[in-house]
Structure 1
């Protein structure tokens, strides 16, 4: 395998692991609000305006909810959200990222609809998809490619302001433009800086009680994706995931990884796990 192909494969593995935690949430029915309830503490950083209704909202989050409530278009709320974001409201920054992502995905949704409709006779399902696309088109009217190109800037801002969801998505979004071996090789230094920042964001999200962040940190240190391999750290983070009891695969990883560690390494890992 050539050097460029090896680098490309490593990068694809790295970006893929970012989605693992999100997949874990989908499989086991977790979400960030439930994680915080389980951890028994409030998150250090704010979360999105779309989180579970039973949790009391902070004032910055309520401001974002009031702005987007009943809106007829994303463009009409853009200035208000940008003002909130620039004043430090992480909910607003992440909402802008979500809005732009929604508009960016319109073309993909149309392609999916066409393929689905050609293969499926379920007219009700097709109508539901058509309705969702029509809603997105209405909301996204006036949002051009230049604005959509700012998605990366807003996920960076939201993550740095402490939004947990943005911190979890950070690496996958900021490196999605490096989608060929040539681009990866040409931007090694920039990708390295993003790795360092992504690791910092995952630690912040983990301190907020995010199981997804803890899981991703365990995988990152075991596989050496965002940082040098550290099996004790990997085991320690996975111990915390297992202790929370929401991800069944944690025990399996611990069993496998434990075979690679000596008594001193295991003791260090347990000490690390006690910090969470």
Structure 2
């Protein structure tokens, strides 16, 4: 909460420290909800500060559907924005795999969204 990008990324990735891991999640589902909300907020804050790692984490979040609802179009948009910010972040082959899971309409929506994400973080 004090603005450390590294801490924001770690918080979103480390469920054990955040709420005690899977056993605690069963006993305290409210803590999981709070962790999800905080994780998304922290990742968005880190991304808005230009963190490519946060962009990738948001892409992964949308791919896996753990902290946010699964959204392949949004995932592809974050991955595209990360690649635009740091070309070595993703190989074209890996991006192609995500792209091929989407319809042409979804691909176009992801490209537009990626441009907006990139403008908000990295320009």
Tell me the TM-score range normalised by the shorter chain.
0.7 to 0.9
Tell me, which stretches of 5 or more residues in structure 2 are unaligned?
119-123
Q: Match of 1:178?
A: 20
1:169 and 2:10 are equivalent in the alignment: yes
User: How many aligned positions are there?
Assistant: 115
Q: TM-score, normalised by structure 2?
A: 0.82
Q: Match of 1:242?
A: 83
Tell me, which stretches of 5 or more residues in structure 1 are unaligned?
1-159
1:274 to 1:197, Cα distance in 2 relative to 1, 3 A: same
1:196 and 2:37 are equivalent in the alignment: yes
Mapped partners of 2:55, 2:13: distance in 1: 17
Mapped partners of 1:167, 1:183: distance in 2: 21
Instruction: Return the index of the structure with the highest Cα Rg.
Output: 1
Kindly indicate whether the alpha-carbon contact (under 8 Å) linking 1:223 and 1:229 is maintained by their aligned counterparts in 2. Answer: yes
1:210 to 1:165, Cα distance in 2 relative to 1, 3 A: same
Say which SS state the counterpart of residue 88 (structure 2) adopts. Answer: coil
Detail structure 1 runs of 4+ shifted over 3 Å in the superposition.
172-175
Q: Say which structure is richer in helix.
A: 2
Mapped partners of 1:263, 1:167: distance in 2: 34
- The structural deviation recorded for 1:213 is 0.4
Say which SS state the counterpart of residue 229 (structure 1) adopts. Answer: coil
Q: Deviations over 1:43-77 (max 9, x none)?
A: xxxxxxxxxxxxxxxxxxxxxxxxxxxxxxxxxxx
Q: CA RMSD in A?
A: 1.8
Q: TM-score, normalised by structure 1?
A: 0.39
Q: Match of 1:251?
A: 92
Kindly indicate whether the alpha-carbon contact (under 8 Å) linking 2:12 and 2:42 is maintained by their aligned counterparts in 1. Answer: no
Kindly indicate whether the alpha-carbon contact (under 8 Å) linking 2:73 and 2:102 is maintained by their aligned counterparts in 1. Answer: yes
